[in-house]
Structure 1
Amino acid sequence: MVFYKNEEEIELLRQSALILSKAHGEIALLIKEGVTTAVLDRRAEEFIKDNGGQPSFLNYNGFPYSLCISVNSTVVHGMPSKYALQDGDIISVDCGVFYNGFHSDCAYTHAVGNVSDDVRKLLTVTEESLYKGIEKAVIGSRIGDVSYAVQQHAESHGYTVVRELVGHGLGRNLHEGPEVPNYGKRGQGLKLQNGLVIAIEPMINLGTRQIVQEDDGWTIRTKDNKPSAHFEHTVVVRKDAAEILTTFDYIQKANN
């Protein structure tokens, strides 16, 4: 189902997204060589609950953590663990917050220490792809316009787009319609209207676009074990420019 939000509901989503964005900043403060991904997960849960929210992912379909933490060749849905971050790693932190009845969703891929130039470029282009998609999330566009913008930018730099996993609508439910693929054709799919809230989330690979699922039933990694990057914002479809509810500002402050 596709649910359009009124301004009162969007304000509640905005509040949820603010807690989420600040949680990302708190996590960013901890990301460095030697820190375990379990430590990041505990901090996220603590911060979100201290601010009156609930982690959207915790116990969602049985997922036992607050964060999806995906390192290097893991695309998404990686589980926090005793793994200690190493120099040269990249780590996608995907988090959701449920607050005042509404979910927000946001992901950012961090570089740990000295990351190779080709991997650093992958991160840059993936984040750019996210904003290329957001530029098309305006009234009158179609889902395919968003999808094409992401795909075209990523592939023009020689990267591949994961096709089995998609962005999504969200609001009172963590996953609502419509699906928002990161590949597609312009002019196709649902016509975007004011008040549609979607999570746009490019998942872009350095090597092949093929993925495999690990035996834990959650972790998705690249088939060739080459790095993958993931960036995500929660946005509202508006007339001339999408309104981005989540922000990377707190992450960037933490990294300065």
Structure 2
Amino acid sequence: MSEDRKVLIKADQLTKVFGYGAGKTTAVNHVDFAFHEGEIISIVGESGSGKTTLAKMIMGLLKESSGSIEYKGAPRKLGSQRQRREYWKDIQAIFQDPFSSFNIFHKIDKLLLDCIKLQGLKLSKEEQFRKMKEACSFVNLKFEELSNKYPFELSGGQMQRLMIARIFMMHPKVLIADEPTSMVDACSRSTILDMLLKLRDENNMTIIFITHDVGLAYYVSDTIYIMEKGHIVESGSAERVILTPRHRYTQQLISDVPKIHEAWELA
């Protein structure tokens, strides 16, 4: 799939070091990748592998210690607030805990209106209402039932769907989904994945899943990157990496799910 699509975001020797001297930790170590338009990628690894740090670097929330990231064929520029806002129009994220992503003191109406403001759209109140209602409808929520409520008044599943509604409104080029289904039940998990894949199909959006779930990676991804201790130890098509793993760490991850097909179906 990726061969006939343009490279959208690319990293060269990307490295992130925390701390100094004897106490320093290299969380991401000389990582290379090339993500394509409309591609679904999974970055797979256990806790502490560096995958979430890598996601935050791609988002521009953490500055790289060395190496570089290119976006649309040019070095990305995040030096000013204006440049970061422009970048974040195209690069959005859904995190494991949806409640941590919202200001609990702001009502749902404002959280959705902020999406319109970030895009720089000048809309009438009627147009704003229509846009928010349409986004909520996409994720099977009723805006009228959410209006005037605070995030803590919603369930985890509702909040996660609200995050996807924001993505629907923003139409980003890249979505980083960091364990987006780990805090919801199996039914909500399937629904959320279906919504994300529908967004990809409709908007040619690149989706980057950050996950420890080998089953999810296999069933949704075009390409898989395996991370261990800050390194990308293996990458390739989902089918190749999972069915014929070459690196002993990949083999270990898969051996923990010996019947991957059954494990996914029963989840």
Shared topology, TM-score over 0.5? no
> As a proportion of its length, which structure holds more helix?
2
TM-score by length of 1: 0.28
TM-score by length of 2: 0.28
